[in-house]
Amino acid sequence: MGHVARDLAIARILKLLDGDVRVDWCSAEPAISYLELHGCNVLEKCRAMHSISGIVEELFNKGLRGVGGLKRLGEKLGILRRNWGIVEGIIDRYDLVVADEFWELVYAAPPAIRRRVVFLTDIVYMPYSFSALGTIGSLAINAYFHKALQGFRRLDYLNSLAEVRGRRWFIFLGRRVDRWIAENAFIAGYAPSYVPGKLLPKRDARRMLGIDMDEFVVVTVGGTSAGSRRLLDCIYSALPTIGEEVRRRTGRELLVIVVRGPRTE
């Protein structure tokens, strides 16, 4: 739920700036349940949309390997087109449309619609794989990224340029991705999923979670996608060593709080 969490933070800031602002939401499950938990107004028409998060994670974690990868890409594109058919016509109602990786707009929306949208993303590039089919697929996706992402009213890059530094759109050819972003996007950096200044003091947070003040607490945030599994596995394997070192240096026991998504179980 990383993206919808950062979007909630953006919505909170908008309401702090203008108490009369109205924010409507358009998304698919499981984001809808999370939004409603926070009292957000989800447009009824959007409930018929289908999530593409699982397919996107698989493509970016495993790449376009063989016929199966291309088939999954085809499934994703089909869902994007159907989703756009569901929500088409909604955008004209609003003064400001903020789309956080709403890929339906990139793939299926006409240029006139994209020119009215502020598009947020932390992905602008599909890494190249060593397989022939994977390379062809990445070439196609990056060519489309390069063209379609320029058509928005504004493009906000919610990531670090280090993620794409030195990469080129077309393997060894074309412009460097980081330079293209610097010229065509507002580099916002990582968007926190909280409102600065609204965090609980450490003592109050520990009391709320039932954690003793003397415990040595480590919080690991592995993300919500299956791609974070490798990171969490590394952390888990290091915990015995970390625990011994904490006891040796402080005489305290280690308490680890793991924040992860359902696909990292």
pLDDT in tens, 76-121: 778 888 888 888 888 888 888 999 988 888 888 888 888 889 999 8
For residues 65 and 71, give the distance between their C-alpha atoms in angstroms, rounded to a whole number.
10
Give ∠ CA 183-185-188 in degrees, rounded to 5: 125
Q: According to the model, what pLDDT value does residue 190 have?
A: 74
pLDDT in tens, 44-73: 988 999 887 766 666 656 655 555 666 666
Enclosing H/E stretch for 15: helix 2-17
Q: Which regions of the chain are under pLDDT 50?
A: 1
Give ∠ CA 117-145-48 in degrees, rounded to 5: 55
Q: What are the angstrom distances between the C-alpha of 90 and each of 79, 95, 108, 151?
A: 18, 11, 14, 19
Phi and psi at residue 245, in whole multiples of 5°?
A: -70, -40
Going from N- to C-terminal start, the domains of the chain cover 2-187, 202-264
Place of tokens 């394997």: 237
Q: What are the angstrom distances between the C-alpha of 97 and each of 20, 91, 118, 151, 222?
A: 17, 7, 6, 14, 30
* Whole-structure pTM value: 0.71
Q: According to the model, what pLDDT value does residue 64 have?
A: 56
Torsion on CA atoms 129, 130, 132, 133, rounded to nearest 10: -30
Query: Residue 176 contacts by C-beta under 8 Å, 6 or more apart in sequence?
Result: 166, 167, 168
Q: In the structure encoding, which two tokens stand for residue 147, read together?
A: 């063209």
Q: According to the model, what pLDDT value does residue 91 have?
A: 83
Enclosing H/E stretch for 181: helix 177-184
> CB of 246 within 8 A of CB of 216?
yes
For residues 83 and 106, give the distance between their C-alpha atoms in angstroms, rounded to a whole number.
12
Q: According to the model, what pLDDT value does residue 134 have?
A: 67
Q: Provide the phi-psi class of 222: left if phi over 0, else alpha when psi is between -120 and 50, else beta.
A: alpha
Phi and psi at residue 231, in whole multiples of 5°?
A: -65, -45
Q: According to the model, what pLDDT value does residue 98 have?
A: 92
Three-state SS string across 52-93, please? CHHHHHHHHHHCCCHHHHHHHHHHHHHHHHHHHHHHCCCHHH
